[in-house]
Structure 1
């Protein structure tokens, strides 16, 4: 996109109207709030819906299968963001991507709200994966477009936007969890669908007045000569996949286990191809190649961290349902409510961390050291949750405060890795691969959840302590190793702090 077009977009957006920020931030804040409300509301009860018995309104799947599906689903959501970003950049722009994505997400939640077969369930998952891949990365891109590159409000605007994400993530499990767990799963999914519908209505009704040209210009459109070739390749790809599925399922070649294995391979193969492509490109300078090498251990550390953090929606969600005393302090706790803890702690602690880094200034730890501390906290969060089982036994219901403490500790690690990783990604990215590097960072979560689809198979009541101990211990060991090699990594970062 040319500089002229970028400024033209900014000029088309009313620059005052939402807490001193561009009016468009109102539209994007509430679009993302309702999208996250629908997503996290659905996710808060999805695992329980899968493994609860049919007589209890669930699908009656095996618990390990349900947790593996949750992990694969999460991995595909992050992978699909690559497709969503490409479609927005090359074909129809970010605004249409957000709209189309919202439609698909809403349809996916509607499909979940209809009592039906396992086939309808998987159709809903495909719709939500594709929809989230279109909406999630592109709504953030539109936020960037409503500010000029020199606007001092830019970082604060993203902070307000980030607050919308976490507010939606905090409220949804409380509301959808209450309805879905205590009344009816499908009614809970209906609330998620309504949430996405409200977000879409707000987006459509306010975007023209508040967003101006933001999101409407295709940054790198396909040339007329490219369109036929690209559309042909896409059509061939879809046909090939359809044939493989049609042949693979009846012959037994494509099973659930083989699909999990395939996603596990792709989870690490795609990032590897990204690294190799960027490193070997003629557009990458020697200094940038050194920074790419420095980024590899940070990426692997992020995979380890997200592997533990994302198990909050699988292993720890199951732990909340089956191992936790839910009648506490005179009230009945829904196991879905624990999913609100992560965004709640982020809302409370993020400003504290931001203040702390500003206070330390040049004395704050380097990026690799922050990552190593993040891994130590992640590992500690798993070691904490094995203690009640050690003291009380595998059959006893544990105090819910142990689970609260585990979620709290992992959030400390998240605030050391997630925002720091985003910042480091922008600093270490080769100039020619800025967008691809951000996609690579998102793939650390995809790889982690692909790994989790394999790990959750080893969790049972009998192996509970070993499971938490080995994974938590591995994270701590990796954190210590990263701490010792951080000076070497810092040298490869070539001046980036």
Structure 2
């Protein structure tokens, strides 16, 4: 492994033209991520149905509320595992190998789902996909940054093209996988997701040497020989302890679906809290940086509230699409999985428009906290909209699918107000000594949101539907108004960051 590599060495090793005027490596990373997202979102589009459908319909026959909670925990663990994936890449085997190992684990995870089987196989697949996504997802994005010099004006455009690949994969896969699941069965659908990841791996392995040069092949902060032994011993002991605890607690009835959900919920709150405490109390953090950390806390809480609503698009709203929506519409039969394509579709269409609005407003555009409050406002409204059909037509009537389309559209407007701004604000507000870890903290807001969702979704039933959407939507709107009111104070604490 090269340890004396600098950024310019990496850039020089990558052919700088060849993909729409961008480095050739962007082709490799675009299609690797396109197929990885195709496989992940395709699997996710039908997973909740697979869990709660009766065995006679090809499902696992789990209780619906348990299935919804497991789906939330799944999402939470995927985001948490990114911390492990980033650490392994930085300290042990580099980003290139992390991507390859992650892709292998994801592919085998989908293959486990493709085998008609049991709840045991489902949990095996869950572990493989969580670990694989944690290895692959953060490290692909990291290499995108490496193939451009810091002064390269194509850099932002390159990231935009890369994120287009993410959303194209997320848009197409529910349509393809949902159709195959409807026409055949769940296992064919999961099999298509496995093929998607295989294609992503094939693109990566075949083109990386020619297109990526030495990008991702070095270890950024390698473990010293004396550290390696200690770290590997601790990892081995940790795995052994977890294995023993699982072997003892499951037969004893201590580790159950519900207790595991509670455990992940606890971790989703405690890990970000510890991050904030450690960064704030560190001697490496200056007084100005401490003020910015305090400013970041309400933004983080707002982000958790926002993602708690947005991520229910693949749980509560997926169940709503399946059970409460009129699926024979305009002469076609709609697969409930197709609704999962709406979020990436609206992002592809609306992102350039929102970006243009901010540019047009210039100095008159809302501040960072005000944009966060707009994100929360739209998230709350998306839930208020979806309770209206039950209010207008009764709780048991099938709903026009356009109500669901409208709800997904409104929350995407909120996402475009909050998510890109949050990423940018995180890089600016991060203490210098914790820049990479603060980015991990931003993604932990999604983990915390889904850990929270695992508790919240238990309260959703057809009888509580209106109260459920009304209370959560109303809470988001109230939090939006509070955040807007205190935004001047937050802006002051940000110490010159806009």
Task: Give the TM-score band, short-chain normalised.
Answer: over 0.9
Residue matched to 1:116: 117
Matched, 1:389 2:390: yes
- Equivalent positions of 1:51-450 (< 5 A) are 51-450=52-451
Cα deviations by residue, 1:383-438 (Å, 9 ceiling, x for unpaired): 00000000111110010000000000000000011100000000000011010000
Shift of 1:448: 0.2
Alpha-carbon distance in structure 2 between the residues aligned to 1:329 and 1:143: 42
**Preserved CA contact (<8 Å) 1:181 1:336:** no
The offset of 1:182, in angstroms, is 3.0
How many residues were matched structurally?
Answer: 497
Cα distance in structure 2, aligned partners of 1:174 and 1:411: 19
CA distance in 1, matches of 2:357, 2:155: 20
In the alignment, the residues of structure 2 paired with residue 255 and residue 281 of structure 1 have an alpha-carbon distance, to the nearest angstrom, of: 38
Please list the CA deviations of residues 95-125 of structure 1 after superposition, one character each: whole Å capped at 9, or x if unmatched: 0000000000000000000001110110000
Write the deviation string for residues 322-349 of structure 1: whole angstroms up to 9, x where unpaired: 0000000111001000000000000000
The answer for unaligned runs of 5 or more in structure 1 is none
Residue aligning to 1:491: 492
Q: Do the aligned residues in 2 keep the contact of 1:45 with 1:181 (CA within 8 Å)?
A: no
Equivalent residue of 2:250, what SS? helix
Write the distance in 1 (CA, Å) between the matches of 2:205 and 2:120. 32
How far the C-alpha of 1:363 sits from its partner, in A, is: 1.0
CA distance in 2, matches of 1:255, 1:63: 16
SS in 2 for 1:251: coil
Q: Aligned equivalents of 2:37 and 2:182: distance in 1?
A: 19
Rounded to whole Å, the distance in 2 between the matches of 1:38 and 1:181 is 17
Q: Contact 1:15 / 1:21 at 8 angstroms: preserved in 2?
A: yes
Q: Which runs of 4+ in 1 moved over 6 A?
A: none
> Partner of 1:17: helix, strand, or coil?
coil
Conserved 8 A contact 1:267-1:446: yes
Work out the CA distance in 1 between the residues paired with 2:387 and 2:470: 7
Superposed CA offset, 1:14-71 (max 9, x none): 0000000000000000000000000000000001111111111111111101101100
* 1:146-181 superposed Cα distances (whole Å, 9 cap, x missing partner): 001111110000000000000000000000010013
Structure 2: runs of 5 or more not aligned: none
CA offset digits 1:357-378 (Å, max 9, x no partner): 1111111100000000110000
Shift of 1:4: 5.7
Cα separation, 2, equivalents of 1:493 and 1:84: 30
Describe the superposition over 1:207-253 as per-residue Cα deviations: whole angstroms up to 9, x where unpaired: 00000000001000000110000000101111111111111111111
**Aligned residues of 2:3 and 2:219 also touching (Cα < 8 A):** no
2:76–2:451: 8 Å Cα contact kept in structure 1? yes
SS in 2 for 1:250: coil
How far apart are the structure 1 equivalents of 2:419 and 2:407? 18
- 1:453-492 paired onto structure 2 within 5 Å: 453-492=454-493
1:104–1:127 contact (8 Å) kept in structure 2 = yes
State how far apart, in whole Å, the 1-side matches of 2:463 and 2:322 are.
Answer: 17
CA separation of 1:4 and 1:110: change in aligned 2, threshold 3 A: closer
C-alpha distance in structure 1 between counterparts of 2:256 and 2:60, whole Å: 19
CA distance in 1, matches of 2:255, 2:386: 36
Q: Is the 8 A contact 2:22 2:154 kept in 1?
A: yes
Shift, 1:195, TM fit: 0.4
**Separation in structure 2 between the aligned mates of residue 4 and residue 96 of structure 1, nearest angstrom:** 17
Report the more deviating stretch, 174-183 or 81-90.
174-183
How high is the TM-score relative to the length of structure 2?
0.99
Deviation at 1:309, TM superposition (A): 0.2
C-alpha distance in 2, partners of 1:181/1:446? Answer: 30
Partner deviation per Cα, 1:446-484 (whole Å, 9 max, x = no partner): 000000000000000000000000000000000000000
